[in-house]
Amino acid sequence: MSDIAERVKKIVVEHLGVDAEKVTENASFIDDLGADSLDTVELVMAFEEEFGCEIPDDAAETILTVGDATKFLEKNAAQA
């Protein structure tokens, strides 16, 4: 697992208070991890803070799973 994926997982576990095993690449924040819509906004804020980047609203809307977040942040890091 990449460093970015590890950091994403850590944030998700901490923020949503879920077991680490549940935080798989395909896990949906809302459907699988019990997040509400405000949690997803907070997660995006936490990612922005952790990775020192800005995630625009249209991109944030496409981040539905743990893997979506990792992919976005890896792509973002590669472009930086």
Partner 1 sequence: MFDLTGRTALVTGATGGIGGAIARALHAQGATVAISGTRVDALQTLADELGERVHVLQANLKDAASVDALPGQAEAALGSLDVLVHNAGITRDNLFLRMKDEEWADVIQVNLTAGFRLYRAALRGMVKRRRGRLIGITSVVGVTGNPGQGNYAASKAGLIGMSKSLAAEVASRGVTVNCIAPGFVESPMTDALNEKQKEASLAHIPLGRFGQGAEIAAAAVYLASDEAAYVTGHTLQVNGGIAMI
Question: Closer CB to partner 1, residue 24 or residue 45?
Answer: 45
Contact between 1 and 55 (Cβ < 8 Å): no
Residues lying near partner 1 in the complex (CB under 8 A) are found at 36, 38, 42, 45
Nearer to partner 1, 5 or 35 (CB): 35
CB contact burial 50-73 (16+ within 10 A = b; e otherwise): ebeeebeeeebeebebbbbbbbbb
Closest to partner 1 by CB, 17 vs 21, is 17
Closest CB 43 distance from partner 1, rounded Å: 12
- CB 5 to partner 1: min, Å: 23
Contacts of 24 (CB under 8 A, 6+ apart): 66
State the catalytic residues.
Answer: 36
